[in-house]
Amino acid sequence: MANASLLLVMTGCATSSFNPQSKEQWLPDGALALVRPIPKEGNYPEPMARMRSSMTAEGDGLPRLIVESAKHTLTLNLPGETPVVMKAYGAYALKHGSYSVALKQTDPLWYAPPTYFLRRGMKVPNEGNKSRYMRGALGRKALFIDKQVAIHTGPVWNEEIGGIKVSEDDMARLFETVGIGTTVEVR
């Protein structure tokens, strides 16, 4: 990683103090992009040095989630600890492969697909319509492994909601332990 950079994107209103000669650039959607080189190893200013961990980029020392589709289980592997095996409803419906936790959300919204409305004899709202976003279907907490697939605690699991449903207790442990970027392997 010879020339790695850190990209920070901020959204908000532009002010009159904007300097067109600076390295900051306003994107077409109104976001501000700041690009700066990542400091070299061992050259971290305080408090960044305190935030670094001993974990490597290859994943040594990081938690991993293993989903066994045929066994309907989700296993939390923490370095130096006994793996925690959890019941995982709906695991069979996921495509095998490697994912990573992209978003952790409390009181998540579920985006209802057209089939949700059609099966109930309802008119399908347009894409992006706020009536397609529903609270409660995914439970109180969710870990999204892509835009539409979540590990959640919803009251029910069905193919419309999808994802992987775990118990409230299991989600509490996952939510506390697992971070953004954690590998999720579906077998």
Q: What is the pLDDT of residue 150?
A: 94
Side chain identity at 21, as an amino acid letter?
A: Q
The answer as to whether 163 is a domain residue is yes
Tokens matching residue 131 = 């009536």
Residues 136 and 73 in one domain: yes
The answer as to whether 55 is a domain residue is no
The answer as to whether 52 is a domain residue is no
Q: How does pLDDT run across 2-50, given as a tens digit for each residue? A: 555 455 444 444 443 444 555 555 555 555 555 555 555 544 444 444 3
| Residue 146 to residues 86, 120, 162, 178, Cα–Cα distance (Å) | 21, 27, 12, 15
The answer as to whether 51 is a domain residue is no
| Residue 166 to residues 2, 114, 139, Cα–Cα distance (Å) | 41, 25, 10
Q: What is the pLDDT of residue 51?
A: 39
Residues 34 and 102 in one domain: no
Instruction: Evaluate if residue 112 carries a pLDDT over 70.
Output: yes
Query: What order do you get walking across the sheet with 150-152 strand by strand?
Result: 103-106, 141-144, 150-152, 164-165
Q: How does pLDDT run across 129-145, given as a tens digit for each residue? A: 999 999 999 999 999 99
Q: What φ, ψ does residue 174 adopt, rounded to 5°?
A: -60, -45
Residues 127 and 175 in one domain: yes
Residues 39 and 69 in one domain: no
The answer as to whether 54 is a domain residue is no
Range of the structural domain that residue 25 is part of: 5-43
The answer as to whether 112 is a domain residue is yes
Rounded to two decimals, what is the model's pTM? 0.65
Residues 20 and 93 in one domain: no
3-class secondary structure, 68: strand
Residues 93 and 140 in one domain: yes
Residues 99 and 163 in one domain: yes
Q: How many domains does the chain have?
A: 2
